[in-house]
Chains A and B, each alone.
Chain A
Amino acid sequence: MLGEAEARRLLLDALARSPAEQTELVLVSWNGALTRFANNAIHQNVAERDVQVLVRVASGRRVGCAVTNRLERNALERAVEQARAAARAAPEQPDFPGLPDPQPVEPVGGFDDALASASPDWRARQVQALLRLAGSDAVAAGALETGVHEVAVANSRGVFCYHTGTRLHFSTVIHADGGSGYAERAAWRLEGFDAVSAGRLAVERARKAARPREVAPGTYTVVLDPYAVQAVVGWMAYAGAGALAVQEGRSWMNGRVGTAALSERVTVWDDGRDLDGIPAPFDFEGVPKQRVVIVERGVPKGPVYDTQTAAKEGRQSTGHALPRAWPETASIGPIPTNVFLAPGDATVEELLEGVDRGLYVTRFWYTRLVHPRDCVVTGMTRDGVFWIEGGEVAYPVRNLRFTQGYVQALGSVEGVGAETYLLGDRFGAYRVPALRVAEFTFTGVTEF
């Protein structure tokens, strides 16, 4: 870990030596480790220390980017020069609004000393305890990751902000008697995390999922565990809740903002400052993250913005920029990264009670966007799907393929769970409850 003082020294020194008209430097570091297990043994166990500096320079509206993971002075100078060369070669970007001006960024928590010092032995002993729980008649697989990340942003207009946080991610799949169960947890603090208590639910689910029967494809009422709900809300956020998708007319929000498009039980917001998520106080342009209500009681309110998409509409960025210098994020545009779906007041049992005949789904797998305007997605169920009859779980069934418009699914929400899970995502996290959805369409079955 570099620390704020060293990050500031590195970035301000490189800024001072940049001859570019405008320069933005983003430092991203990760010092983490991951212990992976399968077949009731640790089989992969890794650690990584990396730091990247992302450079964006502009000359007028000509913009160039570069990335380096070397921190020597000459390496940073070379990266700035590469970015300048790119800017010189590029035609003007008519919609480049310039780098953002500084805004006050209030620090937010999210760093836990205990988690930061989690050792290989600690991770191994957590796994050991889980393997003991699984016993000899179940097979456990999964991963436990811990680490410290840092982000610092500085630009030639005076922006400097720094944040460091800790992160834990745990997931396990338990196989028993031909069935499987799943558990996942994300956290930024160690207190309250215990692989055994999370894994116990997966073991129970696996045993209940054994010897599944076949059920015909069709449209059913479903109760979705939070893992499945994250997959739904995740695609809605990624594919349609960013301003670029809306401005290009390919979002599910197009034509629906201000209308009762979803169930009034659905309220979704993004909040990078909430300690119930994985906090991040500013985005990759150094703009403080605003709390943005994306859907309020079923009514889409609008997307999140970065500086470029905001300027196009004459408004302020909401602090949701992704890095422009990373090739894989350069064209995504802004997206929500700290997403919350408002909980309701039902237990999962109460959600099940309302279902005469339907399906209870643990999680979805390999979900892919089929068509963007209704956010139509296909994917499979995985690690425990059950037939519900008369308001109770009757028996496990084989995994099914679904092809479903998520707009329509979230338009038919009948109940919302009270308990929420914090689940990891590449750029942040989601905190979501279970849902009961009146109509969900399954289009195929598989052999297990």
Chain B
Amino acid sequence: MDELVTRVLNAAELAGAAYADVRVVETTQQSLLVRNGSVQAVSWTEDVGFGVRVVADGAWGFASSHRIDSEEAERVTRLAVQIARASALAKREDVDLGEPVVQRGSYRTPVEVDPFAVSLETKLELLLRADQEMRRVVGVTTTEVEAVFIRQRKTFASTEGSLLTQEIVETGCGIQATAVRDGEVQRRSYPNSVGRHQQTRGWEFVVEQDLVGNAPRIAEEAVALLSADPCPDEVTTLILGGSQVALQIHESCGHAIELDRVFGAEAAFAGTSFLTPDKLGNFRYGSEVVNITADATLPGGLGTFGWDDEGVPAQRVDIVREGLFVGYLTDRETARRLLRLLGPSPYVTGVSNGTSRASGWNRIPMIRMTNVNLLPGTWALEDLIADTDRGVFMDTNRSWSIDDRRLNFQFGCEIAWEIQNGRRTRMLRNALYTGITPEFWRSCDAVCNADQWVLWGTPNCGKGEPMQVGHTGHGAAPARFRNVRVFGKV
């Protein structure tokens, strides 16, 4: 590995690159899927390769290959420089990375039980038991149980002198029950939807989720939803469960604060952002109970690491402080651009806050959410419901959509309950809510406390061309929002 890294960096300098970095990434993944009592997928994936990123003639080039050998290292590096020179045909300004970043060290996700040391038989037995518990419930038509274990080892080196090695371990799992009757289809998931909840932890994470213990409840709720009333169409008080708050943060805050989006890098695909630089430090994003951080140092998050893929150390950054918008997610290039645009201030340093990550060896690093968290408030969930005269409690995401500036959103939840006189009453199905991002967060008047705060994992965040599927974390607890449009007739 060391030889390949050295060869790439030397070849890049010989070819005239002003800057070069190389990432060698080796990923092992085990994926298990049980469906309707049968093991549908037991899959082991090995993925190895390297990517070379260079600046030549003031512009970016990147090339990558799955072949790890000297000849390929030379070819890929020459191609990266050739591509950079082609980029220079249509550049507006030279790449500005600011001061060199020189970091050396290693990082390893702390795990209690290495998930790859647990036998396949043990894993499948747990998944099959959870599936069986769901299938015992009359009326359930489809069941799924999923688990994923990922180990990624990467080496990063740059012509500035950085040399870093990291081993990131992720573990994810989830169950899902679907019930179909008379043209109605209802689904329940646990701990989260879209297949699973995930953290940078070991097998202990799966054990803690207690999939088997929660399976009967999830299946019964799926069946009960078939007979539930649709969510009424009204403007009311909305309490969201923690995993839905996490998705709300991801879509309406996390993407909106990516500074590359703000500067238009995603204008043709993922979109731009309403949080333009003129709003930094003076825009009321939410109410005073809304405090949001981006924290790559939190143990267990999918956005937790030692260094990002530019070699910048993991850090914690304030994004929204008592409702005020105070920070972006930045990489080396956008941090410099923001400084040139706004000048130095308490919110603008010109130095990356370490959020540039690539989904693999064959992709360039770009700004990705780390762990973007709504900090806990003071309420117990029972007290919050008791404090609500009338409203709807919604939990577990079912559908999500938001416009390309991250303003108009509409989210659906798997399950909801009506709140009447401080009590959770009848179950509601097909519950949806819609709003405009800053209006919604300004209407937040309560966030639950640390007892209900969970560092949720989103392992399916799409961005970039070619598409990169990123893994992000979102700490969240249930929260209450006033005057929200909810509906359920679809």
**Interface members, chain B 383-416 (any A CB < 8 Å):** 398-405, 407-408, 410, 412
Pull 13 A–B residue pairs with CB atoms less than 8 Å apart, ordered by A.
Answer: A44-B366, A69-B48, A79-B44, A85-B120, A171-B268, A248-B142, A249-B185, A255-B183, A366-B402, A380-B401, A380-B408, A401-B410, A446-B436
- Given contacts A42-B87, A93-B38, A444-B410, A330 and B33 within 8 Å (CB-CB): yes
- Given contacts A255-B183, A443-B410, A41 and B92 within 8 Å (CB-CB): yes
Nearest CB in chain B: distance from A314 CB, A: 20
CA distance A443 to B44 in the complex (A): 44
A42, A51, A119: the one contacting B90 at CB < 8 Å is A42
Cβ contacts A350-388/B at 8 Å (1 or 0 each): 000000000000000111111111101011101000000
Does A45 lie at the interface of the complex (its beta carbon under 8 Å from any beta carbon of B)? yes
Contact status B466-A368, CB under 8 Å: no
- Given contacts A36-B465, A45-B61, A446-B408, A124 and B90 within 8 Å (CB-CB): yes
Other A-B pairs beyond A63-B42, A66-B43, 11, CB < 8 Å = A34-B465, A38-B265, A38-B267, A46-B83, A47-B83, A67-B44, A70-B48, A124-B86, A330-B41, A367-B401, A401-B410
What size tier do the contact residues of chain B reach?
A: 35 or more
Which stretch of B63-71, B202-210, B293-301 is in the interface? B63-71
In the complex formed, the residue of A with least CB distance to B39 is A90
Contact status B436-A75, CB under 8 Å: no
Does A49 lie at the interface of the complex (its beta carbon under 8 Å from any beta carbon of B)? yes
Cβ contacts A118-130/B at 8 Å (1 or 0 each): 0111011101100
**Interface members, chain B 267-309 (any A CB < 8 Å):** 267-269, 271, 274
Contacts of A254 in B (CB 8 A): 183
Does A143 lie at the interface of the complex (its beta carbon under 8 Å from any beta carbon of B)? yes
Does A103 lie at the interface of the complex (its beta carbon under 8 Å from any beta carbon of B)? no
Does B349 lie at the interface of the complex (its beta carbon under 8 Å from any beta carbon of A)? no
Nearest CB in chain B: distance from A323 CB, A: 10
Contacts of B324 in A (CB 8 A): none
Contacts of A93 in B (CB 8 A): 38-40
- Given contacts A41-B92, A370-B432, A445-B408, A49 and B64 within 8 Å (CB-CB): yes
**Interface members, chain B 51-102 (any A CB < 8 Å):** 59-67, 76, 79-80, 82-87, 89-93
Contact status A39-B264, CB under 8 Å: yes
In the complex formed, the residue of A with least CB distance to B274 is A447
In the A-B complex, the 5 residue pairs with the smallest Cβ-Cβ separation, listed nearest first, are A86-B42, A327-B31, A120-B86, A446-B408, A141-B268
Does A91 lie at the interface of the complex (its beta carbon under 8 Å from any beta carbon of B)? yes
Cβ contacts B247-279/A at 8 Å (1 or 0 each): 000000000000000011111110100100000
Contacts of A66 in B (CB 8 A): 43-46
Does A282 lie at the interface of the complex (its beta carbon under 8 Å from any beta carbon of B)? no
Does B2 lie at the interface of the complex (its beta carbon under 8 Å from any beta carbon of A)? no
- Given contacts A86-B120, A446-B407, A373 and B184 within 8 Å (CB-CB): yes
Contact status A86-B44, CB under 8 Å: yes
CA distance A365 to B62 in the complex (A): 29
Contacts of A37 in B (CB 8 A): 90
Contacts of B265 in A (CB 8 A): 38-39, 43-44
Does B4 lie at the interface of the complex (its beta carbon under 8 Å from any beta carbon of A)? no
Does A35 lie at the interface of the complex (its beta carbon under 8 Å from any beta carbon of B)? yes
Contacts of A255 in B (CB 8 A): 183
Contacts of A50 in B (CB 8 A): 49, 64-66, 362
Does B364 lie at the interface of the complex (its beta carbon under 8 Å from any beta carbon of A)? yes
Contacts of B91 in A (CB 8 A): 41-42
Contacts of A372 in B (CB 8 A): 185
CA distance A374 to B430 in the complex (A): 13
Contact status B40-A124, CB under 8 Å: no
Nearest CB in chain A: distance from B305 CB, A: 22
In the complex formed, the residue of B with least CB distance to A366 is B401
Contacts of A124 in B (CB 8 A): 86-87, 89-90
In the complex formed, the residue of A with least CB distance to B467 is A426
Interface residues on chain A, number (Cβ under 8 Å): 98
B65, B66, B89, B398: the one contacting A121 at CB < 8 Å is B89
Contact status A327-B29, CB under 8 Å: yes
Contacts of B464 in A (CB 8 A): 44
Nearest CB in chain A: distance from B405 CB, A: 6
Does B234 lie at the interface of the complex (its beta carbon under 8 Å from any beta carbon of A)? no
Contact status A46-B45, CB under 8 Å: no
Contact status A46-B33, CB under 8 Å: no
Contact status B124-A128, CB under 8 Å: no
Contact status A70-B46, CB under 8 Å: yes
Nearest CB in chain B: distance from A3 CB, A: 16
Does A192 lie at the interface of the complex (its beta carbon under 8 Å from any beta carbon of B)? no
Cβ contacts A14-47/B at 8 Å (1 or 0 each): 0000000000000000001111111111111111
Does B166 lie at the interface of the complex (its beta carbon under 8 Å from any beta carbon of A)? no
Contacts of B363 in A (CB 8 A): 46
Does B486 lie at the interface of the complex (its beta carbon under 8 Å from any beta carbon of A)? no
Contacts of A79 in B (CB 8 A): 44, 46
Nearest CB in chain B: distance from A219 CB, A: 14
- Given contacts A69-B47, A330-B31, A125 and B89 within 8 Å (CB-CB): yes
Contacts of A403 in B (CB 8 A): 410, 432, 490
Contact status A331-B144, CB under 8 Å: yes
Nearest CB in chain A: distance from B437 CB, A: 10
Contacts of B31 in A (CB 8 A): 327, 330
- Given contacts A45-B84, A47-B79, A131-B90, A371 and B185 within 8 Å (CB-CB): yes
CA distance A371 to B185 in the complex (A): 8
CA distance A324 to B40 in the complex (A): 9
Does A263 lie at the interface of the complex (its beta carbon under 8 Å from any beta carbon of B)? no
Nearest CB in chain B: distance from A169 CB, A: 9
B119, B185, B267, B403: the one contacting A365 at CB < 8 Å is B403
CA distance A276 to B490 in the complex (A): 36
Nearest CB in chain A: distance from B181 CB, A: 9
CA distance A66 to B29 in the complex (A): 10
In the complex formed, the residue of B with least CB distance to A380 is B403
- Given contacts A43-B265, A70-B46, A89 and B124 within 8 Å (CB-CB): yes
In the complex formed, the residue of A with least CB distance to B65 is A49
Does A290 lie at the interface of the complex (its beta carbon under 8 Å from any beta carbon of B)? no
Cβ contacts B455-490/A at 8 Å (1 or 0 each): 000000000111000000000000000000000001
Contact status B267-A139, CB under 8 Å: yes
Does B121 lie at the interface of the complex (its beta carbon under 8 Å from any beta carbon of A)? yes
CA distance A254 to B183 in the complex (A): 8
Does A427 lie at the interface of the complex (its beta carbon under 8 Å from any beta carbon of B)? no
Contacts of B120 in A (CB 8 A): 85-86, 89
CA distance A326 to B362 in the complex (A): 17
Contact status A143-B35, CB under 8 Å: no
Contact status B364-A127, CB under 8 Å: no
Does A133 lie at the interface of the complex (its beta carbon under 8 Å from any beta carbon of B)? no
Contact status B64-A448, CB under 8 Å: no
